[in-house]
Chain A
Amino acid sequence: AQTVTQSQPEMSVQEAETVTLSCTYDTSESDYYLFWYKQPPSRQMILVIRQEAYKQQNATENRFSVNFQKAAKSFSLKISDSQLGDAAMYFCAPSFQGAQKLVFGQGTRLTINP
């Protein structure tokens, strides 16, 4: 069975600084997609960024970028210039080959200190 591990239950960062959230997974598949989702307090889960496993280039979306290490099965999220609105639960969620299902990690609660 595929498993996803987010080893940091909680993280905090000063406003305007950079923070990296880690995610590792276990799969025997070679072709899959990886997602980071954000769940702000009392608000809906939204997609932050996605990465195709066949692409070597790391995905970026404005202040959000990933460090995808396929051999190490690692998919970390870097948030630059942290803002108060970035405070949320963040979930790593791969979607493995042939499956339209996502496998979610345990989540990391990110706090932004003003």
Chain B
Amino acid sequence: DVKVTQSSRYLVKRTGEKVFLECVQDMDHENMFWYRQDPGLGLRLIYFSYDVKMKEKGDIPEGYSVSREKKERFSLILESASTNQTSMYLCASSYSGTIYYEQYFGPGTRLTVT
């Protein structure tokens, strides 16, 4: 069964803290994605990765960085958290060997920055 897990469901951090959000998939997928979900805005792509150590900016990369040292793990890093980064963060993965690009999602991490 397909599985994408995220390290925390809920997280509260202080302004200026460095924050790590971890995502792990067990499907041997090449592609992994980080999204931010805000009411009325849908999901917006922050970063994605096509392969280990590969990364590309999405639509809203400012204030974020990522790391992919292993195929199954994709980390999102907030170098210095700010209140405007309070949001729901979703991780997803997909297989490159299909034309459908179906993405499988994790449960999400609701981050609050105070």
Contact = CB atoms under 8 A, between A and B. Distances in A.
A78 to B, nearest CB: 21
A84 interface: no
Interface stretch (A14-22, A69-77, A99-107): A99-107
7 contacts: A33-B99, A45-B90, A91-B43, A95-B101, A100-B96, A101-B33, A107-B42
Interface string B92-114: 10101001111101111000000
Interface size class of B (residues with CB under 8 A): 20 to 34
A43 B100 contact: no
B45 A9 contact: no
A11 interface: no
Interface in B17-50: 31, 33, 35, 40-45, 48, 50
B45 A45 contact: no
B58 interface: yes
A35 interface: yes
Contacts, number: 50
Contact of B100 (A44, A50, A106): A50
A105 B45 contact: no
Given A44-B106, A100-B101, A106 B45 contact: no
Interface of B: 4, 31, 33, 35, 40-45, 48, 50, 58, 90, 92, 94, 96, 99-103, 105-108
Interface string A33-63: 1010100000111110010000000000000
Contacts of B33: 101
A95 B43 CA distance: 14
A35 B102 contact: yes
Listed residue (B48, B50, B101) with the most chain A CB atoms within 10 angstroms of its CB: B101
Contacts of A91: 42-43
Contacts of B101: 33, 95, 99-100, 102
